[in-house]
A and B are shown apart, each in its own frame.
Chain A
Amino acid sequence: MKKLEVKNISKSFGDKQVLQDVSLELNDGELVCVLGVSGVGKSTLFNVISGLLMPDCGNVLLNGTDITNKPGNVSYMLQKDLLLPYRTIEDNVALPLLIKGMKKKEARKTVSPYFSVFGLQGTQKKYPSLLSGGMRQRAALLRTYMFSREIALLDEPFSALDTLTKSSMHSWYLDVMEEIKLSTLFITHDIDEAILLSDRIYLLSGSPGSITSEIIIEEPKPRSKDFNLSPKFLDYKRKILALL
């Protein structure tokens, strides 16, 4: 079932066209990745999908309803974790609920069962500055999830982490996704990460950026820990490198 449809999006800033005729779709429970080099317009695309930016033409449909330039419909996690330093983790995570008009007490109660699902037990009353990079990222993901169970847009969610933390976050993330089945569209410039996590990959390239190909990763989930060392994985990588 189609959750999200992005149809023929074009966007320019002044004279510079950034996106041209970008179309993609996301099905229920899918993990789809937009892969492309830095500066190709990935973040612009997400700003359009989230409703922050008005595209020059094209539209965005969520469950068939037009949400073009209407913020507040899909969860969006920006590149930095953006945890507010002056709020405890609990209150950071509860923020989307407060914005929807929920009372503080109720919001805290609603978020509390998810702390263990996201491996964040015991951090409720801590301030973000006391958490490690990986934990902060988990908290940011939980906040994204609290906003909406429909669709999450993740803009390079793991790019700020060191390699070791990143790979443990990948396996953690796959586990969590097994549990919460969130339809997710995420951006990365890391080919390995794209193959490891995604059901499908869209390649965004060129200037202005457009979708040049779509690759389906047929490896079943949950994927084994050493999938990224298998010949199949390398075949996908070779294929993508040739396309880029």
Chain B
Amino acid sequence: MKKSLNTPNKNFASCIAVLLLLVLWQSVCASGLIPEFLLPSPLEILKAFCDELPLLWDNTLITLTEAAAGLFLGMLTGFVSAVLMDTFGILYKAFYPLLIITQTIPTVAVAPLLVLWFGYGMAPKVVLIVISVFFPVTVGLLDGFRSSQKDAVDLLRSMGATRVQIFRYIKFPSALPQLFSGLKIASAYSIVGAVISEWLGGFSGLGVYMTRVKKAFAFDKMFAVIFLISAISLLLMGLVKFAEKRCMPYRNTDGKKGG
């Protein structure tokens, strides 16, 4: 009860805050305190966005394709490796530390190498996203598998369940919460990863568009694309959240009881 009253209020407050910030920004620009070419006003950014819409749309499609391909492949490899590492203890011991180390390597440092190896097409972008998505998914799933209750596994074993059945009825569903929190991070990574690698070399995509407008000192277009990128990331995270709610309806009823 309390919760359902709170949520719209919270949204309302943050909407007001954003609105106030925009008004402040607009008035600072209008007052002439900051030169227009350095900081374009929100209205100018909006205008740039509308003017550039067809071009932005084409580039967005490219970036989204890369992100989707990377996310899908990253999830797939993450899932397979988590299952393998959970099933075979030796693989877990051998590769878990390695997994951590891969995450300490900065993506920006690897991206140019990937361009050298895979060229200027989509491949290096997808590979970079796979590398950054793979980790949160694998670690999330592994922790999730391990969090499944030993007693519940015993119960299923006492019923004569096979390994596959134990995985299906106990291990996988108990890993869902961790999988989704991994996915939320991964979806944000995927867009950022795509943009960064486009930035470092490529022919199309929002990252390439960004470098072009930067060289032209078109800061209004620059801001437009920045906002577009964060909007896309938010949208993706929202999608993951939606899927999470659909996949775990029991969590919603939990909340009702608690509130």
Contacts and interface: CB of A to CB of B under 8 A. Distances in A.
B160 A99 contact: yes
Contacts of B165: 99
A236 interface: no
Contacts of B157: 52, 71
Contacts of A51: 158
Interface of B: 149, 151-152, 154-161, 165, 169-170, 173-174, 176, 248-250, 253-254, 257
9 contacts: A78-B151, A82-B151, A82-B152, A86-B176, A86-B248, A95-B159, A95-B169, A96-B159, A99-B169
A78 B157 CA distance: 12
Majority DSSP secondary structure for residues of A touching B = loop
Given A82-B151, A82-B152, A86-B248, A129 B254 contact: yes
A130 B159 CA distance: 26
Interface of A: 47, 50-52, 71-74, 76, 78-80, 82, 84-87, 95-96, 98-100, 126-127, 129-130, 147
Majority DSSP secondary structure for residues of B touching A = helix
B156 A50 contact: no
A71 B159 contact: yes
A47 B150 CA distance: 13
B216 to A, nearest CB: 53
A127 B250 contact: yes
A129 B257 contact: yes
Given A72-B161, A86-B174, A129-B250, 9 more contacts: A71-B159, A72-B158, A78-B151, A86-B176, A87-B250, A96-B159, A127-B254, A129-B257, A130-B257
B250 A85 contact: yes
A183 to B, nearest CB: 17
A158 B90 CA distance: 40
B158 A86 contact: no
